[in-house]
Structures are given as structure tokens and as C-alpha cells.
Amino acid sequence: MNKVTVLGSLNVDTSFRIKSFPKPGETVQVSEKSNAAGGKGANQAVAAARQGAKTAFIGQIGNDGAGKFMLDSLKADNIDSTYVSQNESVGTGTANIMLDEDGQNCILVYGGANQSLTDDDVSKAEPIIKDSDFIVAQFETPEQAAISAFQIAKKNNVITVLNPAPAPASAINPELLKLTDIIVPNELESASITGIKITNENSMIKTADTFAGMGVPNVIITIGDKGAFYSTKNGHGLIPAYKVKAVDTTAAGDTFIGALVSQISPDFSNIVDAIKFAEHASSLTVQRLGAQPSIPTLEEVLKVAK
């Protein structure tokens, strides 16, 4: 069983089902509205926990009902929330999600307490980081918090996993990249960081080489319904995706990350099998509505992975 710590966001998601995305100035009717626990970090932690990993979380909520809701959701999946702090002046993060008929989404995120996470909060969590096999971070919390967490991890031989999502608006701090053992962007995030558009396998290999030049030795690029490309010191390859009818893609990438770190070995020797497992998990997620409600259990993934 892998021991996974996730540093990241906690958001209450409100989803709106619509026929198609509105044009500027247009008003559209909502056919269905729902609320669910979400946030990229929380989704990834839930995915890891549901796939059998011993999971802990580092994050921040507000002193409000939404914060209590998010804490309860973590505890429901047996995620250690010891290091989820409470902010007395800023509310819990929220996200408004528009879903069209094809299952594609547009998301508006209010960072709230997620953006108030500090180095001090991370330092307090050092015991749980030291006891982990992997630590995962994204960009819905401050970059400096991820740097601090990865510094602790590297001192204690913990594998660092960076999911650079949402796509960074400015250059990533080079120190963070040098502290990253494996980076897992999607194709758009990858292009945003490296300047290389993913068009074919050659562009993927060039991208991996570029990340290596930045200090990141291992790469997985998720490419939607085409699958995932990986590159490590032992080789590279493209693992095709499993074809399903997507209903809601909101937590697909987060499910992939959480499922991946629940299965992959610290030396990445089983990376192909871990990616296939993560793709099975993600293929189940996109066939359901909602973020965390759509994330499958280990038993469900094993059924489709036979």
C-alpha cells in the first residue's frame, strides 16, 4: 500500500448542466444543478484513497459550512485531515462548473482559503510528509507552499509529483521544477510550460527532453482521449486511452493522478501498468456526473481492468 500525501485545494463545486456554452452576452437555461465536494487537491486525494492508498491531506478551509462539508468529505474516505488548517478571515474555496451536452466543462474557481496556505502550515505537516512514499501538489494553492513541501520531501527520500494545473499564467519557479521527480501535465499545460505543442510522438519526446533540461527527469503527459505519454530513464511510450462515452470530464485528470500514485512504485519500474490502471479509473470517472461522486473505488476499477 502506497502512503500518499496531497497538498492542494478544497472547493465546494456547484455544477450546471447546459445545452452549450454561452456566447458573450448570451443567457442560457440550466437544466440541472448540483453541489459536490471538489478541488483538484481533494479530488486527487480521494482518488488515491479509493484505490487503496493510505492518504493524508495538507490544505486550508474557511470557518464556514462549506469548510465543514469538505472536512467531512475527506473523513468519509478515511483521509487524514490533521493538517487541514482553518482560516478565520477567508472563506472556503468554491468552483462553478458549466457542463455541456458533450461532457466538456468550463470552470470558474474562487481560491479563498486555498490561496492563504503558508510555509508555516506546510512546516507543521512535516511529520506526515516524512512518512509518505509520494507527495502530490498542484497550482490551486500557492507555489511557495509546494516548494516548501517538496524541500521537506527531498530531504526524506519522498517522491515528489507535480500536477501543473491549472496551467500556470507565468513561468514556474525553477526551484520547484528542480525539486520535482515526476511532472504530470495535460497537453495544454505541457505546451504552456515548454512552448512545445503536442502534435506527435516526436513533439512528446522533445517535450520530455525540455522538462529534463529544467530539472524534471520523469514525465507523464495526458492527451485526452488519445491516452498518456510517459518518459523515464528506462524508456518512453504512448499508452492508448480506453474509449468510453464521456458525460462529465471534470475530475478525469485528478482521478488519473490519484489512481497513478496509489499504484506506481517509487522507482517507476511499473509505470506502464500504473498508467493503464489510472486510465481505467479515469474512464469510469468521465461516465458519471460530479467531481468526487464520480471517482470510482478500487473494486470498480479492478472489474474493468480485467
Domain residue spans in the chain? Answer: 3-18+33-304
Q: What 3-state DSSP class applies to 235?
A: strand
Residues 110, 94: contact at Cβ < 8 Å? Answer: yes
Residues 295, 50: contact at Cβ < 8 Å? Answer: yes
Annotated binding-site positions for K(+): 248, 250, 285, 288, 290, 294
The pLDDT of residue 223 is 93
Annotated binding-site positions for substrate: 11-13, 39-43, 140, 254
Q: Quote the percentage of the chain above a pLDDT of 70.
A: 100
Taking 90 as the threshold, does the pLDDT of residue 224 lie above it? no
CA atoms of 264 and 277, how far apart (whole Å): 10
Taking 80 as the threshold, does the pLDDT of residue 167 lie above it? yes
Taking 80 as the threshold, does the pLDDT of residue 55 lie above it? yes
User: What rounded mean pLDDT belongs to the chain?
Assistant: 94
The pLDDT of residue 293 is 87
Taking 90 as the threshold, does the pLDDT of residue 104 lie above it? no
The one catalytic residue among 72, 121, 254, 267: 254
The pLDDT of residue 274 is 97
Tell me the pLDDT tens digit for each residue of 256-290.
999 999 999 999 999 999 999 999 999 999 998 77
CA atoms of 51 and 188, how far apart (whole Å): 27
Annotated binding-site positions: 11-13, 39-43, 140, 186, 222-227, 248, 250, 253-254, 285, 288, 290, 294
Edge to edge, the sheet with strand 11-17 lists 32-38, 11-17, 93-99, 105-110
pTM: 0.93
Active site residue 254: yes
Residue at grid coordinates 479509493 = 50
The pLDDT of residue 168 is 83
Q: In sequence order, which residues have a C-beta less than 8 Å from that of residue 42 and are 6 or more positions away?
A: 6, 8, 9, 10, 11, 57, 59, 70, 73, 74, 292
The pLDDT of residue 101 is 87
Q: CATH topology for 3-18+33-304? A: UDP-N-acetylmuramoyl-L-alanine:D-glutamate ligase (3.40.1190)
The pLDDT of residue 36 is 87
Mean pLDDT across the stretch 145-155?
98
For residue 162, what are the CA distances in angstroms to 111, 140, 231? 19, 12, 15
How confident is residue 121, by pLDDT bands cut at 50, 70 and 90? Answer: very high
Reading the block at residue 197, the C-alpha cell is: 505543442
Mean pLDDT across the stretch 142-153?
98
Alpha helices, H only, 156-270: 174-178, 187-194, 201-214, 252-263
Taking 90 as the threshold, does the pLDDT of residue 291 lie above it? no
Taking 90 as the threshold, does the pLDDT of residue 246 lie above it? no
Taking 90 as the threshold, does the pLDDT of residue 194 lie above it? yes
Residue at grid coordinates 456566447 = 23
Kindly tell me the burial class for residue 213, based on how many C-beta atoms sit within 10 Å of its own C-beta (0-12, 13-18, 19 or more).
exposed
Reading the block at residue 199, the C-alpha cell is: 502534435
The pLDDT of residue 227 is 93
Q: Quote the percentage of the chain above a pLDDT of 90.
A: 83
